[in-house]
């Protein structure tokens, strides 16, 4: 397993990175915390999504019920077969189970578009991909 100069081991684990800090190389807790926090900011989630005809799929559900946090923009790519799909960003607060639409984008086959995240910090959010066609849709969604 390759080790970089500050003692991090990186392994690919199903679209995520596992980060291991070698205590023999990085000795102080403050150094370890700064290494992990600077590495964690670079990690982005990505999903391949199959959306059946006339249905939807929910991705990027995030819940931070105690302290609201800002969210990331999402890049949506329509890989086909559906001519067009719609991606919508929803949010909710901690006093209701109702979700409110913030932003949406229509993505034609072969296109990639950015679904802009809500500008304010949120308690709950999710992205929903809608396929209102008669063909199956293959979509890639990733954090920007």
- In 4-123, DSSP assigns E strands to 8-13, 16-21, 46-51, 55-63, 74-81, 84-92, 100-108, 112-115
Nearest to 3 by CA among 20, 27, 28: 20
What whole-number distance in Å separates Cα of residue 48 and Cα of residue 128? Answer: 13
Percent of the chain with pLDDT over 90: 56
Q: Specify the pLDDT at position 2.
A: 47
0.75 surpassed by pTM: no
| 105-to-19, 49, 72 alpha-carbon distances in Å | 34, 16, 15
| 21-to-27, 33, 47 alpha-carbon distances in Å | 10, 10, 27
Q: Specify the pLDDT at position 44.
A: 77
- Across 22-36, 68-82, 110-124, least confident range: 22-36
Calculate the average pLDDT of the chain.
Answer: 80
In the chain, the domains with their CATH numbers are 8-40 (no CATH), 46-143 (2.60.120.510)
Q: Specify the pLDDT at position 32.
A: 47
């Amino acid at each position: 397993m390759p080790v970089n100069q500050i003692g991090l081991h990186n392994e690919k684990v199903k679209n995520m990175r596992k980060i291991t800090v070698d205590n023999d190389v990085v000795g102080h807790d403050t150094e370890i915390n700064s290494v992990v926090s600077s590495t964690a900011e670079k990690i982005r989630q990505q999903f391949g999504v199959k959306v059946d005809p006339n249905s939807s799929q929910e991705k990027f559900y995030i819940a931070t019920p105690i302290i609201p946090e800002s969210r990331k923009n999402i890049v949506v790519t329509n890989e086909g077969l559906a001519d067009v799909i719609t991606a919508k960003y929803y949010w909710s607060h901690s006093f209701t189970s109702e979700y409110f639409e913030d932003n949406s984008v229509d993505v034609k086959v072969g296109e990639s578009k950015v679904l802009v995240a809500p500008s304010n910090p949120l308690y709950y959010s999710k992205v929903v991909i809608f396929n209102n066609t008669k063909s199956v849709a293959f979509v890639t969604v990733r954090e920007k």
